[in-house]
Amino acid sequence: MMEHSRETSEELAESETVTECGEIEEEESCFQDIEILLEHGVSEKDVNTLKKNGINTIKGFQMCMRKKLKEIEDFNEGKIDLVKEICCKISLANAFVTASEISFQRKQLFKLSTGSKALDKLLGGGIEAMSITEVFGEFRCGKTQLSHTLCVTAQMPGPNGYIGGKVIFIDTEHTFRPDRLRSISERFNLDESTVLDNILYARAYNSEHQSELLNVVCCKLHEEAGVFKLLIVDSIMALFRVDYSGRGEIFDRQHKLGQMMSRLQKISEEYNIAVFITNQITSDFKSPDLATRPVGGNILAHASTTRISLKKGEGAIRIARLLDSPDLEEAETQFLITAGGIDDICKRQFNKHFLLDCLSSFSIVFEVYRDALCRFSSFHNNSMEMYCKFFSLKYFRDWWLSV
């Protein structure tokens, strides 16, 4: 019995070791440091040069176009071919895998809650990692409010073993407010100071600066591997609309925009994070009813993995419509903007106007039969006047809407 238990424990230890090694190999295959090139004959100077240009991983190097690599100092055709050959040997990025393997990998992706169960359901569980989620709409429709809520919910544990992480926020419209984060943190019973410390903020002043900040983002994601889980850009097009004006500059604008969106997609896949961007709208003067459409054209539309349209509803209610997704059907839902961020519409709030109509009809009936009630009622006149006032349409409407 003793020998059998010893053999069993040894087998378990071996299986655990194999599992751990498998997990380590899986992590390394997803995130391989560029310094691995040093073990294959690439000089330390060249590796540091790649880092200075925002290339910190093997996959990051493979994602770069050859003409982009030629712009790097001291990188000629021969050196680029050599490094590419080495990257192909130590990386499985170019290998084919089965659809079953991809299906298994996608099940491991984390999703970030928006703060609203209805909106999470619309998105198939929340904001997905390794993809770009875009929300667009007019002013005051909830884009920035959703961004602030995600800053907090991204730090909370979630399904599939998600333990939470830090957030990077690039602000192009000067709408980031730490005080807003405090009230949202209070709703989720989180420590305000800890929440604020876990958010890395940067203000972008022009479209070039916005692009340069992505190099800093790559460095931070590389320095603190696996710590950051969400990158927010609020908003993606604001500075491009200012820096490029008129039809003569539209080509340059779209070219730069396409490069930035491609960079964001590569960052999301390279470092396994979720990218959330907000976008503005413009009026379509060719349309007879001056319909609105998101800014950025087809470049932005094709680059975004998931697109959501936000519209104003009654009061604090907002309407979200899923317009584009690789695996979700077009649908619509409603949510509420509260002091605690994005939230669901409670039943009382949702049914308030329906009940108001019903009770207003009752008040009309009461007015019709008021004389009969006064005649047969034993109520005192003052009491009857109070009931009449309460059930009058205007008074009751004001009282109900104030609840």
When pLDDT is cut at 50, 70 and 90, the band that residue 7 belongs to is very low
Top pLDDT among 121 and 285 is at 121
Quick one: tokens of 271?
């470092």
Tell me: pLDDT of 28 over 50.
no
Q: What is the pLDDT of residue 119?
A: 96
Tell me: pLDDT of 4 over 80.
no
To the question of pTM greater than 0.85 for the whole model, the response is no
Number of helices (H), then strands (E), belonging to the chain: the values are 18, 13
Least confident of 11-25, 33-47, 89-103, 105-119: 11-25
With contact defined as beta carbons under 8 Å apart, do 220 and 262 qualify?
no
Q: How many residues does the chain have?
A: 403
- The answer for residues whose C-beta is within 8 angstroms of residue 345's C-beta and 6 or more apart is 118, 317, 334, 335, 336
State what percent of residues in the chain have pLDDT above 90: 49
Tell me: pLDDT of 13 over 90.
no
DSSP 123: T
Quick one: tokens of 297?
């054209």
What's the gap between Cα 210 and its chain centre? Answer: 18
Q: Which of 335, 317, 340 is nearest to 123 (CA)?
A: 335
CA distance 305 to 14: 42
Per residue in 285-342, pLDDT tens? 676 655 688 999 999 999 999 999 999 998 889 999 999 999 999 999 999 999 999 9
Q: Which of 119, 104, 174 is nearest to 150 (CA)?
A: 119
Q: What is the pLDDT of residue 107?
A: 83
Average per-residue pLDDT in the chain? 81
Least confident of 5-19, 95-109, 336-350: 5-19
Which residue carries 């130590």 as its tokens?
Answer: 90
CA distance 363 to 387: 10
Q: What is the pLDDT of residue 387?
A: 52
Residue 339's Cβ-count burial label (10 Å; 0-12, 13-18, 19+) is exposed
With contact defined as beta carbons under 8 Å apart, do 55 and 219 qualify?
no
With contact defined as beta carbons under 8 Å apart, do 230 and 154 qualify?
yes
What is the rounded (10 degree) CA torsion for 37, 43, 46, 52? 70
Average pLDDT for residues 167-171, to the nearest whole number?
Answer: 97
Q: What is the pLDDT of residue 264?
A: 95
Task: Strands of 222-294 (E only): list them.
Answer: 228-234, 274-279, 281-283, 292-294
